[in-house]
Structure 1
């Protein structure tokens, strides 16, 4: 039975799932949900996912709609080995820690930067939110010190898939990732090492950046 992914390519969270699926070698049946047109609120989609968010994955009798959980599942269920998501508790904990950091700190603080602008409450991000976001980037830059890939491995893990989808989008939106030398070096390494990076993430990260810039106005 095919695995169906309801997604929007503009979303970095959806793109991290695409990268993971490519890495484990599975094909997804892709169904676009246009959030801008309110397609996520259609009754047939709410029946699948009451939270009406993307990405949403359906694999047989399993339905998931948290991107990091989907990446964890795909790598555990379909990975040829455990390199993407280690079975060793200590190695896995390092990956999990980065996934939680991305969810609770990095992506959360980005939401405080762009959320009010996207909703039309502000014409540009508040300086406080930008400062907090850069604080989080500084922490990530420290985490990546002397590491080839995010979890301290010499190969890509799902921590890289999740982080690279977000970081590349922030860079495209005008946040100067080059100022963080470890993040910048890691990002360039991921672009070379991740299968299908440009096809599945790079092009749409640029579109996401353009979308963010289109919403920010100076007054």
Structure 2
């Protein structure tokens, strides 16, 4: 099985982290977006969409990160909590993966574009008005992440991690990854439930994968979650490890 990825892309990172963490064997095929390799004739033969990620399993080709994640979960028979067989729990994973495209993903990407890519490429800052609108949209999406999905649970769908959390956390980390904006990062992500959720998801991935991607990883062990039992105990454990 081959995965065509560029780890600068959050959807690609979601697929990569899931496959690596679950020890799913695959051949990594690097497609450099900055070099325009997705528009090459060779890549177009693989996918007319000309975007990453792409999965190739024998003669079967699949695009779209959420579709790839669900395919991997079913094909590789991972633990049920990642993509539950229960109809309603699975529907909740699907609900989040459908919602995030035009909400959290869109707004995190815009903030990253305005704060990091635009100045680097164009050599100038975006206007304060545009930046304020982008930040307000992101704040609204983060509010919905908590109020609609996270609520009083450990993770977005239940008290066990799912594909929804994988898809979400790479976007939240992308919007934060800008060393020149620490004060703004604190302002955007100061909400305790979101911070605790983000840390708990990151802890379940191999730290070396996260740190290699520039993510805000921590060194706490995943077993901490299993031992905690109650949400309060988990929050206390996260606080001690941060």
TM-score range, shorter chain: 0.7 to 0.9
Contact 1:34 1:40 in 2 (8 A): yes
User: What is the root-mean-square deviation in Å for CA atoms of aligned residues?
Assistant: 2.3
**Counterparts of 2:124 and 2:84 in 1: how far apart (Å)?**
42
Structure 1 unaligned spans of 5+? 208-219
Equivalent residue number for residue 147 of structure 1: 153
- Number of paired residues? 202
**Residue 91 (structure 1) shift:** 0.5
Structure 2 unaligned spans of 5+? 217-242
**Counterparts of 1:195 and 1:112 in 2: how far apart (Å)?**
26
Which residue of 43, 48, 52 corresponds with 1:45? 43
Shift in alpha-carbon separation, 1:190–1:114, aligned structure 2, 3 A: closer
**Counterparts of 2:7 and 2:78 in 1: how far apart (Å)?**
26
Contact 1:12 1:205 in 2 (8 A): no
**Residue 43 (structure 1) shift:** 0.3
Equivalent residue number for residue 165 of structure 1: 170
Contact 1:24 1:75 in 2 (8 A): no
Correspondence 1:103-118 to 2 at 5 A: 103-115=101-113, 118=118
Equivalent residue number for residue 84 of structure 1: 82
**Counterparts of 1:157 and 1:46 in 2: how far apart (Å)?**
32
Equivalent residue number for residue 210 of structure 1: none
Contact 2:92 2:157 in 1 (8 A): yes
1:190 aligns with 2:201: yes
Shift in alpha-carbon separation, 1:187–1:73, aligned structure 2, 3 A: same
Secondary structure, aligned partner of 1:57:
strand
Tell which deviates more after alignment, 74-83 or 170-179.
170-179
Q: TM-score normalized by structure 2?
A: 0.75
Equivalent residue number for residue 93 of structure 1: 91
| Greater relative contact order structure (CA < 8 Å, 6+ sep) | 1
Secondary structure, aligned partner of 2:80:
coil
